[in-house]
Chain A
């Protein structure tokens, strides 16, 4: 697999087409995208909501909850909580639902390269 680093991208090894068209790969892609796309939409929307509330919901954000702790501070801290939570859930999801399938396919690729062709 040599690549000259100029000109148009080279034609790739056909083993990639094989893996790409396999049902395992489609399954892997679906598993990955099923988590990351909704999770990205969720955290981005939640973050924008925070930014817009800081701008346009001044009274709501200034409402005091306990002592000098107001909604704005809690809302901001909740952004930390959701970030940690989404990261944790993604790592757990990947370990159980993505990594095993990815390892299988990588092994298939390695076997194909060493086993002849």
Chain B
């Protein structure tokens, strides 16, 4: 059996496995607490695995190793930023959110505010962040599948995107949070196993001597010492250095504002289990990012990464799968074919688990925040709300499919970095103010969310990634005036500033008074949502 057929078999295997899990999980899926929060009955370890499965996206698995393979040490920043960011979630957000929220990010943000404006704003930013993130995953899936299965042409890519979209709708509609969580847990196991296997094989090639691995990478790429030093990608000009700082800020501050990560904290029974789950997640994600270092430098050392190579023309996205083939014995060998197929299937499972989490997050927010609260003013039954959530999953899945097809020329890492920048600018300021500042109120929340959201997306629109440069999405046009690709250095402080200004220019005694309840609940768990007993 050749590699492509084996890949097909394994892809079908991944699909059957996840579909089976979803049916199995769908047995207990009535009511909002089950659909949105999996009954809040997952253990810390299970949720830690699921968080890892939700977080380690195609951008992490394919993107980081590719970035290191192509630009050396500078690609390492992603690993570091994505990991250190978890301390924000652990120390300042996870437990307090578990105690004071219910199903969505907006539940927490609107806790002591006027419901309709704050929920509308929070839901808008939830959907925007999730859609950008979804696009990145689906575009990645299209590129990956068409390259690995050796089918070329737009039709195959479009078909893949539609298939991934239909699968994610299925996971969410049938499995709810419980099904989605188990898909993420299984994916985390597959991803960690596959990554450990390839890492060990790569290191074995260099007799477990890291220095030799680095030396070979520097020599093989022809870039020499500079490949192992900072600055190859971002060190050229003052502007690129500021861009690097801007990216670093978005990475470290974005994670704790990602709605699909935040709602995972609601799936455990107590704040203490929320903490345990983040501890597990930090361990697993940290171990994984250390291994991406070996994969990235390994790809640089063992593969052709020249401008015409498959690694370079895929923007680095094929570095890991091709590295697997190389350490398995090379192209044409049985070992190479098996490992290539295996790692491709792992990447596919990775994408499926992440898109399911994102679709669930958006659908929950549309149903719970916009439909139940803003439109129906709370006069809605649980059955009705869950039905709307399922319908929303169809609509959001459809929108994601429709947007992904024309977005295929867009760089995946760019879309993910944008999602992080929006999360850090629009969501994190409000979350932190709401938890720690009594004077924060409705106007502050609305200004911070819309201000951060509009400035982050707007600055990117006028950046060289969208127009006015040879690598831009619209290379033939030029409306660019903002010099950086990453908006975070402006939009994150702006989000905090607007949250402050909005709050001090308005009086809302109710919001200040209810801070008492919020803080007591957040710190003690008094009155927090309890787990369902089955």
Contact = CB atoms under 8 A, between A and B. Distances in A.
Which of A8, A10, A90 counts the most B-chain CB atoms under 10 A from its CB? A8
B252 interface: yes
Interface string B228-260: 111100110000010011001000100000000
B87 A43 contact: yes
Contacts, number: 186
B275 A73 contact: no
Contact of B511 (A9, A13, A44): A9
B250 to A, nearest CB: 12
Given A6-B116, A87-B90, A90-B90, A47 B84 contact: yes
Interface in A31-59: 32, 35-36, 39-40, 43-44, 47-48, 50-56, 58
A84 B283 contact: yes
B312 interface: no
Given A5-B115, A109-B527, A76 B76 contact: yes
A54 to B, nearest CB: 4
B523 A55 contact: no
Nearest to B96: A32
A28 B88 CA distance: 20
B409 to A, nearest CB: 30
A19 B84 contact: no
Contacts of B81: 47
Contacts of A19: 520, 524, 526
Nearest to A77: B290
A15 B524 CA distance: 13
A70 B228 contact: yes
B272 interface: yes
A6 B372 CA distance: 10
B333 interface: no
Nearest to B252: A47
A83 to B, nearest CB: 5
B235 A55 contact: yes
Given A36-B91, A76-B76, A87-B87, A54 B524 contact: no
B278 to A, nearest CB: 8
Contact of B377 (A6, A39, A43): A6
Contacts of A97: none
A83 B282 CA distance: 8
Contacts of B508: 8
Contacts of A86: 87, 91
12 contacts: A9-B112, A25-B523, A47-B252, A55-B235, A68-B228, A69-B211, A73-B76, A76-B73, A80-B289, A91-B276, A91-B279, A105-B526
The 3 A-B pairs at the shortest CB distance, nearest first, are namely: A67-B211, A109-B526, A5-B378
Interface of A: 1, 3-13, 15-17, 19-20, 25, 28-29, 32, 35-36, 39-40, 43-44, 47-48, 50-56, 58, 61-62, 66-70, 72-73, 76-77, 79-80, 83-84, 86-88, 90-91, 94, 99, 102, 105-106, 108-110
Given A5-B372, A53-B230, A80-B290, 5 more contacts: A55-B231, A73-B73, A84-B286, A87-B278, A109-B524
